[in-house]
């Protein structure tokens, strides 16, 4: 039991920025809904639909980057800073390239949202 209690503080220290980021994302959605909801149900539905369409790109990007953090952590834990640096550099290049592709795809998709009515 004592070893579990000893791990709570470092775990919460690592988790706190992630928790804050997730809660912030949720609060942005709530704020959008409150502000757009005053305009009517159709604009609110359109905003929710558009937000969900573009969240797919966000989730795919997160899924693509998760292995980078795992590989960097594993290399750092094995005391291989050069390897960790390589993983980080490759991950950043991948994030930049994929981010550009996702942005282009979202711009192209945004011109077609009117087809959904």
Angle of helix 41-77 relative to helix 2-37, nearest 10 degrees, comes to 150
Q: For 44-57, how does the pLDDT look when each residue is reduced to its tens digit (9 = 90+)? A: 988 888 888 888 99
> Residue 61 and residue 102: Cα distance in Å, rounded?
8
Output the CA torsion sign for 54, 55, 61, 64: negative
Q: Within 1-117, where are the H helices?
A: 2-37, 41-77, 81-110
**Burial of 2 from C-beta contacts in 10 A (0-12 / 13-18 / 19+):** exposed
> Residue 29 and residue 67: Cα distance in Å, rounded?
27
The full set of domain ranges for the chain reads 1-38, 41-117
> Residue 28 and residue 105: Cα distance in Å, rounded?
23
Q: In terms of pTM, does the model score above 0.75? A: no
Q: For residue 20, what pLDDT is reported? A: 95
Average pLDDT over residues 102-117: 88
């Amino acid at each position: 039991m004592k070893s579990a209690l000893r791990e709570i503080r470092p775990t919460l220290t690592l988790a706190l920025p992630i928790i804050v980021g997730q809660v912030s994302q949720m609060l942005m959605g709530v704020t959008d809904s409150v502000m757009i909801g005053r305009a009517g149900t159709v604009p609110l539905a359109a905003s929710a639909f558009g937000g969900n369409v573009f969240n797919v790109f966000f989730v795919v990007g997160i899924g693509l980057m998760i292995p980078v953090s795992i590989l960097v952590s594993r290399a750092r834990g094995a005391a291989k800073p050069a390897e960790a640096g390589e993983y980080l550099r490759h991950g950043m290049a991948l994030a930049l390239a994929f981010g550009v592709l996702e942005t282009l795809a979202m711009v192209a998709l945004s011109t077609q949202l009117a087809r959904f009515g």
